[in-house]
Amino acid sequence: MALLALLTTVFVASLAHARIENLVTFGDSYTDEGRAPYFLSHRTAPPLGQTLPPSNSTYSGGIVWGRFVAQLTGARLYDYAVGGAMCSNSYDPRRLDAIDGPFPDVREYELSAFEQDLKFPELYPQRNVDNTVYALWIGTNDLGIYGFLGDMERPGATITDYLGCIWDVFDRIYTAGGRRFVLMNNIPLELAPMYASPGRYGRGNNRFLANPWFYNTTEFKEKMRQYVTTANTLQDYGVPRFLQAERRWPGASFAIYNVHDLFLDVINDPRAYLESPAIVRSPYRNTLFGIVDSHLPKSSFLW
């Protein structure tokens, strides 16, 4: 809880002083408040023209960060994130069996849902360039074992395609009237239990489980670190280049939230952020054989 409160506080502080009345979020399980569960249970997309109800039972383990921001600022949250999403299926085609179709991604599904929702005036009654913030947090799946780390991308696709998708997302938000942007960078995925200790706490790392004897954990962790570092560095250089040098989004403001270093701070000094016993190496939930939750509070865990 302390970590999420800090993430929320820093997020709000990183923005300009103008009031936030609307927060529009895109991304994956770190941001999803209920869209992926809706897809899975209803076997179709959530209806347009309405928001899903708030939930404290999410993939991130409780209330999503966007809801905390909304509570802190009084803003209205519009959450389009889908757990498991990548920025685009164009470089890593995947399907979702529940809907017998492409896995909902940011560029093709989430943005399209947002654009369609704008046709419902009652849904966005007071949206303007000054009072609405648009935040994107994407990359965990793109760079991970179901993406580039697992060699699941289309032939010829590179990490720059993932970065290009991010810039395309903000292009479309800009066209739709957005002017206040936040990009949250990639966390140190190489330290996540899925990659640091694969097969010990769950079955998410399918490449390891397929043949543990030929999975070099050290090598894959290093590749993951390089992918994350490369992507984050390109984001750091890309935002000022496009915003200032090329004036890709004239009149817009753009903040990068360094979630990567926040996670490193927690890992290096866990007791400053998490409740005792402050666990940063193993997850709250073990899904290796069934589902086993820790008897300790969720607020004691980073993962």
pTM confidence score: 0.95
Per-residue b or e along 33-45, where b marks 16 or more CB atoms closer than 10 Å to that residue's CB: bbbbbbbeeeeeb
Q: Per residue in 78-107, pLDDT tens?
A: 999 999 999 999 999 999 999 999 999 999
Q: Per residue in 152-168, pLDDT tens?
A: 999 999 999 999 999 99
Residue 134's DSSP bridge partners are 24, 181
pLDDT by residue for the chain (303 residues), tens digit each?
556 666 666 676 666 567 899 999 999 999 999 999 999 999 999 999 999 999 988 888 889 999 999 999 999 999 999 999 999 999 999 999 999 999 999 999 999 999 999 999 999 999 999 999 999 999 999 999 999 999 999 999 999 999 999 999 999 999 999 999 999 999 999 999 999 999 999 999 999 999 999 999 999 999 999 999 999 999 999 999 999 999 999 999 999 999 999 999 999 999 999 999 999 999 999 998 899 999 999 999 999
Domains in the chain, please, with CATH?
Answer: 2-274 (3.40.50)
Question: What is the 3-class SS of the chain, one letter each residue?
Answer: CHHHHHHHHHHHHCCCCCCCCEEEEEECCCCCCCHHHHHHHHCCCCCCCCCCCCCCCCCCCCCCHHHHHHHHHCCEEEECCCCCCCCCCCCCCCEECCCCEECCCHHHHHHHHHHHHCCCCCCCCCCCCCCEEEEEECCCCCCCCCCCCCCCCCCCCCHHHHHHHHHHHHHHHHHCCCCEEEEECCCCHHHCHHHHCCCCCCCCCHHHHHCHHHCCHHHHHHHHHHHHHHHHHHHHHHHHHHHHHCCCCCCCEEEEECHHHHHHHHHHCHHHCCCCCCECCCCCEECCCCCEECCCCHHHECC
